[in-house]
Amino acid sequence: VYSADILTAEQARDGGLVRTVYSPEALLDEAHALAHRFVNDRSPVATALMRQMLYRNSAVAHPVDAHKIDSLAMFYTSIGDGKEGVRSFLEKRAPEFTGKASAMPPFYPWQD
């Protein structure tokens, strides 16, 4: 990394920078499979919230600001889709999330 050398895919894998190297023919199918793992049986609201927290919490001025956002997130995930996630886990069934990412609460009103 410090030398700025350009690595081959195999060198990156062997050095632990990436987990797997795919052939060009298999790459798109594998990328789709990975993307599906991120979203299948996942709450759209929780996924959007995590994305926003990863992106925006890195830019807050003080760790307490990030903690406030985390606290709000914990509250909102304890209702709606959060309850459905716990219930479906306990009942050993696939979740039926109804929340929409577009209806996510405004955790960062000062940045919009």
Domains present along the chain, CATH in parentheses: 9-38 (no CATH), 43-111 (1.10.12)
Work out whether the CA dihedral 47, 25, 10, 7 comes out positive or negative: negative
Question: Are 44 and 95 contacting, i.e. CB atoms less than 8 angstroms apart?
Answer: no
Supply φ then ψ for residue 106, to 5 degrees: -80, 85
pLDDT digits (tens, 9 = 90+) for 44-103: 888 888 888 888 888 888 888 888 888 877 787 778 888 899 999 999 999 999 988 887
Q: Give which of 49, 43, 45, 22 is closest to 34, Cα–Cα.
A: 22
To the question of pTM greater than 0.75 for the whole model, the response is: no
